[in-house]
Amino acid sequence: MPEGKWIDLTHDFSSETIYWPTADGFKLETVFEGFTDKGYFYDANNYSAAEHGGTHIDSPIHFAQGKQTVDEIPLERLIGPAVVIDVSQKALSDPDYQVGVKDFTDWESKNGQIANGSIILLNTGYARYWPDRVKYMGTDKRGAEAVKELHFPGLDPKAAKWLVENRQINAIGLDTPSIDYGQSQLFESHRILFKENIPAFENVANLDKLPPKGALVIALPMKIKGGSGGPLRIVAMLPEG
């Protein structure tokens, strides 16, 4: 067992969990809770939810025809050294902020080139607003009409293009509802990344507890056959010292 401190990067799932305005939210239904007629305690529930909500993975097929479904993503892509890009100062003052190429090159000027096989995590600071839908998403409205009112930071498509052309990353994640910013209509960053079978992690928690580099990330989703995404348990191990 490797030595170090474990950090949970996952929001729990409950009736408060944030989902896309058009998606079904998380529901937990009690099947039985209490003592049976034979005298022992028993607890069981049913749950239901959309694939995309809470801390979850977007598999490449979500926006790229013929690419990997969630059960097809190699484990090697879901485990790797963390590269944490902190843009919280910019993003918290601009809900439509898009993480750009300069944010990556500035990180590299201080920490060295992003290593092959890294998992990039974008810390916008938005996890502090969870589970307040208005602060986190820009609206608490539901349905298709709510989508145009979404405001939260994301990844600039130019930066997504730069990453796939210049760096070999395993995956990318962030602490907002989407890898594309809230006002996106074309979801270009999704499409650029997923065309290269690079999955995305959304609604990640506790990125402010990670150093710029040195942590190990393990991100294991529910293995839904043919799934375009699913609930994700993502954790990081900090090195000792």
Task: Spell out the domain ranges in the chain.
Answer: 5-10+51-238
The phi, psi pair for 107, rounded to 5°, reads: -60, -45
Find, among 235, 13, 208, 192, the residue nearest to 91 by Cα.
208
Answer yes or no: is pLDDT of 241 > 80. no
For range 127-143, the mean pLDDT = 97
pLDDT of residue 201: 99
Structure tokens at 85: 């890009």
| Residues 43-98: tens digit of each pLDDT | 999 999 999 999 999 999 999 999 999 999 999 999 999 999 999 999 999 999 99
Count of CB atoms within 10 A of residue 225's CB? 8
**Per-state percent for the chain, helix, strand, coil, to nearest 5:** 25, 30, 45
Answer yes or no: is pLDDT of 3 > 90. no
Structure tokens at 234: 């993502």
Identify the CATH assignment for 5-10+51-238 out of 3.40.50.880, 3.30.70.920, 3.50.30.50, 1.10.630.10: 3.50.30.50
For range 98-102, the mean pLDDT = 98
Answer yes or no: is pLDDT of 1 > 80. no
Q: Are 159 and 104 in contact (CB under 8 A)?
A: yes
pLDDT of residue 2: 60
- Full-model pTM: 0.96
| Residues 155-211: tens digit of each pLDDT | 999 999 999 999 999 999 999 999 999 999 999 999 999 999 999 999 999 999 999
Q: Are 47 and 27 in contact (CB under 8 A)?
A: yes
Answer yes or no: is pLDDT of 116 > 70. yes
